[in-house]
Amino acid sequence: MNIGVLGGGSWGTAIARLLSKKGHDVNFYVRNKEIVDEINIKGENSKYLPGVRLENIKATSDLFEAVKNSEVLVLGVPTNSIRSVLEEIKDYVKDQIIVNLAKGIEVDTLKRVSEISEEILPNNSFVSLSGPSHAEEVGKDIPTLVVVSSKDSNSAKKIQHTFSGEDFRVYTNHDLIGVEIGGALKNIIALAAGMSDGLGYGDNTKAALMTRGIYEMSKLGKALGADPYTFNGLAGIGDLIVTCTSMHSRNRRAGILMGEGLTSDEAAIKIGQVVEGVKTTKSAFELSNKYNVSMPITHKLYEVIYEGLDPRKAVSDLMKREYKEEMEEIFLENTKI
Ligand SMILES: NC(=O)C1=CN([C@@H]2O[C@H](COP(=O)(O)OP(=O)(O)OC[C@H]3O[C@@H](n4cnc5c(N)ncnc54)[C@H](O)[C@@H]3O)[C@@H](O)[C@H]2O)C=CC1
Ligand SMILES: O=C(CO)COP(=O)(O)O
């Protein structure tokens, strides 16, 4: 199959390699010309995925070239660049299936990536790929399980078969909202878990953040129309575990730096790659207000990032909240768990 992969960061590169190893013809759009040359001449993207050999991938800085003959188009750019990339390609796109890799909620519109795609490319099927999958490990063929979701189950199944391989097992899930919201919100909790590590707190604190974190992710998901059970799966708890515990995680590492005293901007510069959780914290904060969902961790993180609250004070504020029942009645209503 002829596949265009758009976005030459770590995840786009790992996925371009995975698809080319499966025998697909990969046209890889990378904005930076020096990286294009390095991939084509030396078979490496040393800035974003050092030490990983890239073979049979045609990198190009010509967006049209990557789009024109493709049957599937993979979006590997960060969430807040998706709109501008889709606007740029919309006149050349035919009937390709769009596969999104980004995990976030657009900050200006509070839209999920599927909603942005539907707005700009209403006639193209859209599939979201999510789950615990660091590029650094997929680039080394370490066994990984992910999930794909779409409103069109045939497209989801097609992408499941297109991407699955010996070391990369793809499930389908019918709950597109849950899959997208899980992937986006886990980055917020990973920032908080990293911050807890940076402050010198322990495993108890991190386990608490992860457990209460998945609860608030599920609550917002439910309010937005997701099946809360999806948050028990790969796109929910699975991705939350890997992002809160792995040193590959950009969000966790940024959180550690913030716990050590850096601002979110300083931390993001030091990481040198997209830290999606920073903007998603703002999106989720606004969604939780709009839908009247209590999300205390997200709200405290919002205050740390956008209002300069001291992270140690944020933890102490969370500890001093009124005593309550673990699960709210309203959440348990019509919930399968
Ligand atoms: N890195 C990982 O292990 C994983 C990342 N993701 C998600 O994938 C998305 C991309 O993440 P990474 O690859 O880690 O980011 P990254 O920071 O490594 O790379 C982002 C790439 O997008 C390019 N880009 C940004 N705006 C662009 C535009 N308008 N036009 C063309 N290129 C543009 C940048 O130049 C850069 O090459 C994020 O939403 C992230 O949450 C999901 C799963 C795993
Ligand atoms: O989504 C990811 C792993 O599943 C990547 O998370 P980070 O962006 O925090 O590295």
ipTM entry: 0.99
Residue 337 in domain: no
Longest Cα–Cα distance of the chain, Å, equals 61
pTM, full prediction: 0.97
**Among the atoms of ligand 1, which is closest to the Cα of residue 79?**
39
User: What CATH number does residue 283 fall under?
Assistant: 1.10.1040.10
Number of domain units in the chain: 2
**Which protein residues touch ligand 2 with a CB less than 6 Å away?**
103, 132-134, 187, 190, 239, 242-243, 248-251, 276
Contact 104, 280 (CB under 8 A): yes
Q: Are residues 157 and 16 in the same domain?
A: yes
Of the candidates 116, 100, 113, 109, the residue with the CA atom closest to the CA atom of residue 287: 109
| Boundary (domain end) residue, out of 172, 196, 211 | 172
Q: What are 22-48's pLDDT values in tens digits? A: 999 999 999 999 999 999 999 999 999
254 CB-contact burial (10 Å; exposed 0-12 / middle 13-18 / buried 19+): buried
Tell me, what's the pLDDT at 337? Answer: 46
The DSSP bridge pattern shows strands 72-75 and 57-60 to be: unpaired
Q: Which two tokens stand for residue 75?
A: 């979006």
Q: Are residues 158 and 220 in the same domain?
A: no
User: Domain span at residue 53?
Assistant: 2-172
Of the candidates 253, 234, 233, the residue with the CA atom closest to the CA atom of residue 245: 253
Q: Are residues 133 and 181 in the same domain?
A: no
**Among the atoms of ligand 2, which is closest to the Cα of residue 248?**
10
Task: Cite the annotated binding site for NAD(+) by residue number.
Answer: 7-12, 135, 250
Around Cβ 121, how many Cβ atoms within 10 Å? 18
Contacts of 275 (CB under 8 A, 6+ apart): 187, 191, 250, 251, 254, 264, 267, 268
Residue 259 in domain: yes
pLDDT tens track of the chain, all 337 residues? 999 999 999 999 999 999 999 999 999 999 999 999 999 999 999 999 999 999 999 999 999 999 999 999 999 999 999 999 999 999 999 999 999 999 999 999 999 999 999 999 999 999 999 999 999 999 999 999 999 999 999 999 999 999 999 999 999 999 999 999 999 999 999 999 999 999 999 999 999 999 999 999 999 999 999 999 999 999 999 999 999 999 999 999 999 999 999 999 999 999 999 999 999 999 999 999 999 999 999 999 999 999 999 999 999 999 999 999 999 887 777 665 4
Contact 201, 315 (CB under 8 A): yes
User: What CATH number does residue 128 fall under?
Assistant: 3.40.50.720
Q: Are residues 113 and 224 in the same domain?
A: no
Q: Are residues 56 and 202 in the same domain?
A: no
